[in-house]
């Protein structure tokens, strides 16, 4: 039985760090284990220009505790007013590693997102030309589409047409939650990758709704049926380099989660590595863990893998806080509902 495993330091290819007091509180939770992270730009107001991204990067570095190393990989929030030249300059300088597409209204702080995809065509063409990846929140927002079908419908109605019209555009389907997402990625040889969260490997929609409503399991895209969770687990543990970890760790204070209209987002930064290792162990796939968390992401983004490594050991149940304090109030740490045995030492 394997009870110790050493892997290259992992990265998180989809992370919400927020700003101010919340940034201060959540950044060490990620930097403790992860070398780098793709930083989501859905602040209020959003990170739209190269100048915004440079300023946000400085605030992140200023919030990093002494003695910790961490590299934020900045993104720009795509709007219908995004200037292709500003974006190209921010990429050429090395500052910006991806551009984020939120369909307007799809999720937390997405009102500035794209309504008419024709209006971002010149930006997408520029991105294909310079090799800057597009990270996609893949859900349609049409009121008549059932929330559990929004990812599958997005692939057919939005994503596939965008990709057909923009050859060479590199796309990351973020936080896939369905068999449809897994299969769409599997069908493409070169320009497509997908992130998978820790929580979508663990929960299905029953966890949110059975036995009382569980606001801390509510996130977007919402967890789907068990059969979809099993497909995600199979993809993550397959060794296929097109799938990699993007936690979508999305802190909201308990006040904002536990209310009549609670915010979407699961906060997993604190225990991600224990969560993922537990699930890979259950699948007898610990030999695929390093690929998923440390190798496949850099491979897709054309970045070197981290030089340093981390060691996980298996033992008594891991103790981690049920909440962290944020200055704005407590933030509940994702509870898988079962003990975790793998700890980063």
Q: Give the helix ranges, DSSP H, for 262-312.
A: 272-282, 289-290, 296-301
Backbone torsions φ then ψ of 327, nearest 5 degrees: 90, -40
The answer to whether the beta carbons of residues 250 and 267 sit under 8 Å apart is yes
Nearer to ligand NCD, 16 or 150 (CB): 16
Q: Which entry of Zn ion, ligand NCD, none binds 264, CB below 5 to 8 A by partner kind?
A: ligand NCD
Residue 16 in the binding site for ligand NCD (CB under 6 A): yes
Residue 42 in the binding site for ligand NCD (CB under 6 A): yes
Distance (Å, whole) CA 40 – CA 26: 14
Distance (Å, whole) CA 94 – CA 148: 37
Q: Which entry of Zn ion, ligand NCD, none binds 265, CB below 5 to 8 A by partner kind?
A: ligand NCD
By C-alpha distance, which of 284, 343, 345, 281 is closest to 316? 343
Max CA pair span of the chain:
55
Residue 231 in the binding site for ligand NCD (CB under 6 A): no
Residue 8 in the binding site for ligand NCD (CB under 6 A): no
Residue 248 in the binding site for ligand NCD (CB under 6 A): yes
Q: Where would I find the beta strands (DSSP E) of 22-154? A: 36-39, 71-77, 96-101, 134-136
Helix axes 179-186, 226-236, angle to 10 degrees: 30
Closest approach of Cβ 164 to Zn ion, in Å? 26
Backbone torsions φ then ψ of 5, nearest 5 degrees: -145, 130
Distance (Å, whole) CA 43 – CA 207: 29
Residue 64 in the binding site for ligand NCD (CB under 6 A): no
DSSP 117: G
Q: Give the helix ranges, DSSP H, for 33-146.
A: 50-63, 84-92, 121-130
Distance (Å, whole) CA 215 – CA 271: 18
Residue 181 in the binding site for ligand NCD (CB under 6 A): no
Contact map string, positions 109 to 148, toward ligand NCD, x by CB under 6 A: ----------------------------x-----------
Interface of this chain with Zn ion, residues 230 to 249, rule: CB under 5 A: 248
Nearer to Zn ion, 12 or 180 (CB): 12
Give how many residues touch Zn ion by CB under 5 A: 1
DSSP 295: I
Closest approach of Cβ 335 to Zn ion, in Å? 19
Closest approach of Cβ 116 to ligand NCD, in Å? 21
Nearer to Zn ion, 5 or 47 (CB): 47
Q: Which of 176, 219, 295, 333 binds ligand NCD (CB under 6 A)?
A: 219
Q: Which entry of ligand NCD, Zn ion, none binds 238, CB below 5 to 8 A by partner kind?
A: none
> Catalytic positions, please?
248
Closest approach of Cβ 42 to Zn ion, in Å? 7
Give how many residues touch ligand NCD by CB under 6 A: 11
Contact footprint for Zn ion (CB under 5 A): 248
């Amino acid at each position: 039985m394997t009870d110790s495993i050493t892997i290259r330091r992992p990265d998180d290819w989809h992370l919400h760090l927020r700003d101010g007091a919340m940034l201060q509180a959540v950044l060490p939770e990620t930097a403790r284990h992860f070398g780098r992270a793709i930083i989501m730009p859905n602040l209020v107001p959003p990170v739209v220009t190269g100048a915004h991204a440079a300023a946000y990067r400085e605030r992140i570095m200023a919030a990093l505790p002494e003695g910790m190393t961490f590299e934020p990989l900045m993104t720009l929030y795509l709007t219908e007013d995004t200037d292709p030249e500003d974006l190209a300059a921010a990429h050429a300088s090395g500052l910006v590693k991806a551009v984020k597409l939120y369909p307007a209204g799809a999720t937390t702080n997405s009102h500035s997102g794209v309504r008419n995809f024709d209006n971002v065509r010149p930006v997408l063409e520029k991105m294909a030309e310079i090799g800057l990846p597009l990270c996609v929140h893949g859900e349609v927002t049409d009121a008549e589409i059932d929330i559990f079908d929004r990812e599958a419908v997005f692939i057919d109605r939005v994503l596939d047409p965008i990709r057909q019209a923009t050859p060479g555009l590199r796309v990351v389907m973020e936080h896939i939650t369905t068999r449809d997402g897994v299969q769409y990625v599997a069908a493409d040889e070169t320009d497509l990758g997908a992130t998978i969260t820790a929580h979508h490997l663990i929960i299905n929609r029953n966890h949110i709704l059975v036995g009382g409503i569980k606001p801390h399991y509510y996130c977007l895209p919402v967890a789907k049926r068990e059969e979809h969770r099993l497909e995600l687990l199979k993809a993550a543990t397959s060794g296929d380099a097109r799938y990699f970890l993007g936690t979508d760790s999305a802190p909201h204070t308990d006040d904002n989660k536990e209310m009549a209209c609670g915010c979407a987002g699961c906060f997993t930064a604190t225990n991600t590595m224990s969560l993922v290792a537990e699930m890979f162990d259950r699948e007898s796939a610990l030999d695929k863990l390093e690929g998923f968390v440390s190798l496949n992401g850099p491979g897709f983004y054309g970045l070197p893998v981290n030089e340093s490594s981390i060691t996980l050991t298996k033992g008594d149940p891991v103790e981690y806080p049920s909440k962290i304090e944020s200055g704005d109030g407590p933030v509940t740490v994702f509870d898988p509902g079962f003990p975790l045995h793998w700890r980063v030492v």
